[in-house]
Structure 1
Amino acid sequence: MLAAASSAGMRLRAGLLMLAAALLAACASSGWNLPAPEENPLEQALMLEGVSPAKSALVIYRLEDEKVWASGGARIRERFTPASTSKIPHTLLAYEFGAVTGPDERFEWDGQKRFVDSWNEDQTFSQAFQRSTVWIYQIVVPRIGAARLTEGLKGFGYGNADIGGPEQSTRYWLEGPLAISATEQVEFLARLARRTLPLSASTYDLAVPVMVLERGEGWTLYGKTGWKSVEGQMDIGWIVGWLEQSAGDAPGTYVFALNMDMPGGMEEAPRRRAAVERALRSLGALPAER
Structure 2
Amino acid sequence: MRKFSAIAIATPILLILLNMASFPGISAQSQAIDTSSLVSTIPVAQSVDLGRSFRELGIEGSILIYDQNNKKFYEHNAARNSQAFFPASTFKIFNSLVALETGVIKDDVAVLTWDGIQRQIPAWNQDTNIRQAFKNSTVCFYQVLARKICHERMQKFINQVGYGNRQIGTPEQIDRFWLEGPLQITPRQQIEFMQRLYRQDLLFSQRTFDLVKDIMVFESTPNYVLRGKTGWATSVNPNIGWFVGFLEQNNNVYFFATNINLRNPDDAPARIEITRRSFKALGLL
Equivalence for 2:41: none
- 1:2 Cα deviation (Å)? 2.4
Equivalence for 2:246: 242
SS in structure 2 opposite 1:170? coil
| Structure 1 Cα separation of the partners of residues 9 and 230 of structure 2 | 28
Equivalence for 2:50: 42
SS in structure 2 opposite 1:41? coil
- 1:113 Cα deviation (Å)? 1.0
How do residues 56-205 of structure 1 correspond to structure 2 at under 5 angstroms? 56-205=61-210
Q: Matched residues, percent identical?
A: 36
* TM-score normalized with structure 2 length: 0.84
- 1:205 Cα deviation (Å)? 1.5
- Alpha carbons of structure 1 residues 5 and 158: separation in structure 2 relative to 1, 3 Å: farther
Paired residues of 2:240 and 2:259 also in contact (CA < 8 A): yes
Paired residues of 1:163 and 1:177 also in contact (CA < 8 A): yes
Indicate whether 1:272 and 2:271 are aligned: yes
Paired residues of 1:157 and 1:184 also in contact (CA < 8 A): no
- Alpha carbons of structure 1 residues 6 and 195: separation in structure 2 relative to 1, 3 Å: farther
| Structure 2 Cα separation of the partners of residues 41 and 198 of structure 1 | 37
| Structure 1 Cα separation of the partners of residues 27 and 261 of structure 2 | 34
| Structure 2 Cα separation of the partners of residues 14 and 133 of structure 1 | 32
Equivalence for 2:222: 217
C-alpha offsets along residues 212-233 of structure 1, whole Å, 9 cap, x if unaligned?
0001122000000000001x63
Structure 1 stretch 143-152 or stretch 105-114: which is displaced more?
A: 143-152
* TM-score normalized with structure 1 length: 0.83
| Structure 2 Cα separation of the partners of residues 62 and 46 of structure 1 | 21
- 1:17 Cα deviation (Å)? 4.0
| Structure 1 Cα separation of the partners of residues 135 and 199 of structure 2 | 22
C-alpha offsets along residues 44-79 of structure 1, whole Å, 9 cap, x if unaligned?
122233323xxx121001111221011112111100
| Structure 1 Cα separation of the partners of residues 30 and 69 of structure 2 | 15
| Structure 2 Cα separation of the partners of residues 6 and 270 of structure 1 | 37
C-alpha offsets along residues 249-282 of structure 1, whole Å, 9 cap, x if unaligned?
xx52000001111122x22100100000110111
Q: Gaps spanning 5+ residues in structure 2: where?
A: 32-46
Paired residues of 2:48 and 2:281 also in contact (CA < 8 A): no
Paired residues of 1:5 and 1:65 also in contact (CA < 8 A): no
- Alpha carbons of structure 1 residues 14 and 280: separation in structure 2 relative to 1, 3 Å: closer
Equivalence for 1:260: 260
Structure 1 stretch 5-14 or stretch 133-142: which is displaced more?
A: 5-14
SS in structure 2 opposite 1:184? helix
Q: Gaps spanning 5+ residues in structure 1: where?
A: 19-38
- Alpha carbons of structure 1 residues 216 and 5: separation in structure 2 relative to 1, 3 Å: farther
- Alpha carbons of structure 1 residues 5 and 221: separation in structure 2 relative to 1, 3 Å: farther
Aligned-partner residue type, residue 240 of structure 2: I
- 1:122 Cα deviation (Å)? 1.0
